[in-house]
Amino acid sequence: MSTPPPVAPRRILLVDADAFFVAVARQEDPEGAGKATLLIVGGRPGSRGVVCSASYECRAYGVRSAMPIARALKLCPQAMCVPVPRGVCGTRSREIQAVLAQFAPVVQPSSIDEWYCDLGGTEALYGHEPLEETAQRMRQAVFAATGLWVSIGAGTSRLVAKMAVEVAKPKPGTGATGVRCVAPGQEEEFLRRFKLADLPMVGPRFATKLERMGLETVEQAQRWSEEALAHRLGERAGPWLARRIRGQDESIVRPRDRQKQVSRETTFGRNLHEDDVVERELLRLAVRVSADLRRQALKARTVTVKLRDGDFRTRSAQRTLSGFIESERSVVRAAKPLLLQMRKTRRAPVRLLGIALSHFEDDDEPRPAVQLGLFPAAFKGPGAKSTGTAPQEPQDDPQETARDRALVLALDRIRGRYGADAIVPARLVDQSRDTGPRVEE
């Protein structure tokens, strides 16, 4: 009986675009942001947005992602602040992924600036060259195509690749080259440099529990057997941690064709107290998020509304509908009751408002053209009685008709030709009650 050939070690890479939002902002404004060593991306000075990204030089002052812009500027007052160039960031992200797909048979986006790649089975394709050489060629190819640098971590698992990319990043003073490959069998030794809190999925509460046990670093935890960890942490957490600290992670890299949700949110320049102003901003978000949805040929069933109060308390509410929707009218009808209920439960000024759409329909069928009449029989004015010519929509669950969908497609064509603000609901034209500078995400 012949012995089966040995299984080749997995070749998993994590590609991380270096200071992605900062790099794209510099590309888009070479005379302004491009010349600023200290650069914060996330909003203008005086806005109430948060830091999306900051240059490595700013991070030396303590500036971090998700920090309020005002606090970031107190730490680094000489920094230049610019909004996030979101449209261009999406384009650059797709361009980077296209380059990676030329090297790896499987590419999985993890976020807008991170991608897992599985190069398993490609050893002969690349002449059995060291994985580090392949990674360096990938890095150079991305820069040649986009003008952006990426860092690459590689190992036998997603976990090791994730930790390796942090070491690979060419931060000032580190001497890193942009690529760090952990050879098979070296995972345990490589991970000893990290704290347990650095490991993915080891949250603050778990890290605190481990500290009470005298375990702060991976090296300290590696001295414990799996049985000892299971005895102290339980039959699930103990073996799980024992595998993590030794770099064992069997999760698979899978391509992901569609994102899980489409969302828009706005941080306002002043806290909003007036109900009509908050509802107007909900409508504005519904127009934009539904347009994003249709641009990707998606329909959604779940609508989520997010609120952040003036005291920074964040709340959300969601509902899943009986049918799929794509029009701004249906999004508003589903979202408004959620907003009103949250405002009723806790009456507080609004700092941030957001809408997310999820639970998509796999609908790739072409949509038939629909001819609209100016006064279709199914249309009823206020107070009119139904003639039975069209099914009536229940007030608590919006349902879309062919007319609704044809109407939004016509609006999309107009906006596509003349701009997003070429035609908007009349309520959005009135700017007499301003919200202050808005930061949209």
Q: Provide the annotated active-site residues.
A: 114
Residues 6+ apart with CB under 8 A from 213: 232
319 close to 334: Cβ distance less than 8 angstroms: yes
| Alpha carbons 313 and 345: distance in angstroms, whole number | 13
Contact 102, 34 (CB under 8 A): no
Closest CA to 86 of 59, 49, 122: 49
User: Which residues contact residue 87 at a Cβ distance below 8 angstroms, ignoring those fewer than 6 apart?
Assistant: none
Residue type at 82 in one-letter notation: V
Say how far residue 371 (Cα) sits from the centre of its chain: 38
Q: How far apart, in whole angstroms, are the C-alpha atoms of residue 316 and residue 255?
A: 30
DSSP state, residue 365: S
| Amino acid letter for position 152 | I
Query: Contact at 8 Å (CB) between 54 and 63?
Result: yes
Q: How many CB atoms lie within 10 A of CB 138?
A: 22
Distinct helix (H) and strand (E) counts, the chain:
14, 13
* Torsions phi, psi for 294 (to 5 deg): -70, -30
The Cα-based distances of 106 to 109, 118, 400, 436 in angstroms read 10, 5, 37, 45
Rounded Cα distance between 298 and 315, Å, is 26
Strand, helix or coil for residue 40: strand
For the beta carbon of residue 437, count every other beta carbon within 10 angstroms: 15
Stated as kind and residue range, the H or E segment containing 295 is helix 275-295
Q: Which residues of 334-349 are buried (b: 16+ CB within 10 A; e: fewer)?
A: bbbebbbebbeeeebe
Contact 115, 151 (CB under 8 A): no
d(CA 13, CA 152): 7
**8 A C-beta contact, residue 325 and residue 365:** no
